[in-house]
Amino acid sequence: MGDRPTVCTPHPKAVAGGSTVPHALRHQRRSKGWRIVLGSVLSLVLLSAGAGGVGAYKLSRFFDDGVATISTVFPPASVRPPASVGEVAKAQNILVLGSDSRGAHNESIADLTGQRSDVIMVVHIPANREGVWVMSILRDSWLEIPGHGQAKINAALSWGGVPLAVETVESLIKTRIDHVAVLDFEGFQAITDALGGVEIDNPVAFASSKLKGHTFAVGKQVVTGAEALAYARERYAFADGDFTRVRNQQRFFKAMLSTVMSSRTVTNPATVANLIEAVTPWIAVDDGLDFAYLTGLELQLRDLHGSDLTFFTLPTSGTGRSPNGQSIVTIDTGALAPLQQAFQTDTLEAYDP
């Protein structure tokens, strides 16, 4: 493998959506010709190439040479949940962090110090590899950030880099994160353009505040890269702000995944190469999330259909105001125990979001 650029992140001081697909129906819906790219929204373009005819060595160089490595990812073991054991240890939890901007001073996506994470997702790949679950966490969710007190969850990345973001999410789900991927929102624009557009089915019409003069109509429509970025970032057009924003992000991610998984994409070597080249400048990962790891997952998940991907959002109980007057999202703490148990026991298939 080629050498990947490494950028240090500082050490800390110390999600409305889908439904679970029944097991029997999942097997009926499997399609031999499809590939689930990583099971992660971030890495969805990286592994569909397995069926595309592009040489593995070339793909490996594209990815491993082009993607930045985050040098410090995890907090000290003493503050982490216990490591899983037995069959459950085969399950994988990948933390996906995204930001609207990397900061004018910073040319690397691997260093988001001072930036707040606008997308927070936990991608769960079960030990049996019979589905993929993606949990969104609303960025204004109010909770305890280790060493800093109560605050919005998106402040963790700003205050303590990736390690503090990992520690905060692990404290929330009571389960270890295995890998981390960080993506700049501009990457979604690059992927969409490399695909020649992505078709979404928009349920609520709105005028974009991010793309002046553009309105997203109700119904199916093909969006360009700039339109996709505006669609995924919009919050001001909606009465419930981030709640609809997250639903739209999930809707777009799933549509993009389906486009990548389509036979017209995975069987076209040029398209696959363009996709990987388009996305790698916008991604940073831990050093274990390399091409070899992704290829192993692709083989394990190769029989899954797009319907085996389930999106849901961390349970909330509405919005409110913090003691210092911030607008916040209140986590439904009474609903956390079943969710935590589902992560701990690798039983998200039976969890009712």
226 token code pair: 């700039």
* Interval 318-329: pLDDT, tens: 999 999 999 999
How many other CB atoms sit within 10 Å of the CB of residue 58? Answer: 13
Burial 143-173 (b: 16+ CB within 10 A, else e): bebbebeebbbbbbbbbbbbbbbbbbbbbbb
pLDDT tens readout for residues 19-53: 333 343 333 333 322 233 333 334 444 444 443 44
CA distance 333 to 272: 43
* Per-residue model confidence (pLDDT) at position 172: 97
277-296 pLDDT, tens digit per residue, is 777 888 888 999 887 887 78
Read off the DSSP letter of residue 88.
Answer: G
Query: Is residue 201's pLDDT more than 90?
Result: yes
For 83-101, write each residue's pLDDT tens digit: 999 999 999 999 998 865 5
Listed by start position, the domains of the chain span 6-186+267-332
C-alpha dihedral sign at 131, 188, 163, 155: negative
CA distance 316 to 100: 23
Measured CA to CA, the distance from residue 12 to residue 145 in angstroms comes to 11
pLDDT tens track for 130-157? 998 999 999 999 999 999 999 999 999 8
Class of domain 6-186+267-332: alpha beta
Q: Which are the contacts of 58, defined by CB distance < 8 A and separation ≥ 6?
A: 273
Burial class (CB in 10 A: 0-12, 13-18, 19+), 296: exposed
Question: Which residues pair with residue 186 across a beta bridge?
Answer: none
Reported as a pLDDT band with limits 50, 70 and 90, residue 265 is low
Complete DSSP assignment for 129-182: -S-EEEEE--TTEEEEETTTEEEETTHHHHHHHHHHHHHHHHHHHTS---EEEE
Residue 150's pLDDT is 96
- State the DSSP code for 223: E
- pTM attached to this predicted model: 0.79
Mean pLDDT of the chain, nearest integer: 79
